[in-house]
Amino acid sequence: MFSNRFTEAFGVEHPIVCGGMTAVGKAELIGAVAEAGALGFLSALTQPTPEALVKEIARCRDLTDKPFGVNLTILPTIEPVPYDEYRDAIIDSGVKVVETAGANPAQHLPAFKEAGVKVIHKAVAVRHALKAQALGVDAVSIDGFECAGHPGEDDVPGLVLIPAAARELEIPVIASGGLANGAGLVAALALGAEAINMGTRFLATTEAPVHQAVKEQIVANTERDTVVVFRKFRNSARVARNSVSEEILEISAREGTTFEDVAHLASGARGREQVLVQGNVEGGMWWAGQTQGLIHEVASCREVVGTIVNDAEQIIRERLLSQLVDR
């Protein structure tokens, strides 16, 4: 068992997080993550309205009486998103942990703090993490270059980014990107983090609400089966390597192309319907991290969390301590 500032502050058994994932962070997954003793986050904007989010929170509570949170990702959108209403839905539902991501969460922090809600902010650089700390968040999840999703434009991998953040920050650091097993948990703790955040590993679980073909593709893929798209547009994103993401790269490399030239391929609606729902892994762009190379089976959330914690304990006791000698 591991106990530190993170487990104590957020009331969970294990220092493991399932961050918010669009179209995936639903009650059946997050309830199972909570029951396994980790901290999971429903994805607020996966729900079409704040009212629907309230129902999803209630549905998750039907599955677990353990702590879970809600992710609120704040991004520029064509159609205005009622972020204030989603925030109020979270507060009114009695949720006590929120994960913010995307834009600066400053305008929402006073309401969360007044309601006694702890806030974890996702960042991709130490300077962003320091800004979040200054705003008053309770912890920072720092994303290394290996992660699925948007790793920023600095290209700093976790082996450097995690200790750099831990050295500068006073609040708990959650390591994200490149983590999927017990060795990763040990490494993250050694680097100064107090928890690990996993997305791709939890995507390949029995409870994840995606097609079985997607889970099996993650297991079949290696660490080389991702690509970074949208770099030309200063919006780098790590996604699974397939014919669609390869085409996005090819079009983007042409002289004078803009995001509009790849928008039809990058459509989130297309990826969700074709890939996550129908199981056509070549049908759209979908998110996956380099940890695909570390995932060798589809398992339940309880099995995933239990194996990671047990392996981490064994690595420390049997592999690392045995190498210490008195001089």
CA distances from residue 134 to 137, 170, 298 in whole angstroms, order as listed: 8, 10, 40
Q: Please tell me the pTM assigned to this model.
A: 0.95
Q: Closest Cα to residue 90, out of 116, 54, 60, 120?
A: 54
Q: Closest Cα to residue 41, out of 58, 63, 62, 17?
A: 17
- Quote the Cα angle for 304-37-6, to 5°: 110
Find out whether 32 and 302 touch, Cβ atoms under 8 Å. Answer: yes
Asked if the model's pLDDT at residue 259 lies above 80, the reply is yes
pLDDT at residue 77, as a whole number: 74
Find out whether 286 and 271 touch, Cβ atoms under 8 Å. Answer: yes
Average pLDDT for 212-238: 96
Which helix (H) or strand (E) is 119 found in, with range?
A: strand 118-123
CA distances from residue 26 to 22, 29, 58, 155, 266 in whole angstroms, order as listed: 9, 6, 11, 30, 22
Asked if the model's pLDDT at residue 7 lies above 80, the reply is yes
Convert the pLDDT of each residue in 63-92 to its tens digit: 999 999 999 999 877 788 999 999 999 999
The dihedral of CA 98, 102, 108, 114: what is its sign? positive
Give the pLDDT band of residue 182 (cuts 50, 70, 90).
Answer: very high
Instruction: Give the rounded distance of the alpha carbon of 301 from its chain centre.
Output: 15
Find out whether 224 and 230 touch, Cβ atoms under 8 Å. Answer: no
Q: Which residues of 239-255 are buried (b: 16+ CB within 10 A; e: fewer)?
A: bbbbebbeebbeebeee
Q: Closest Cα to residue 202, out of 66, 300, 100?
A: 300
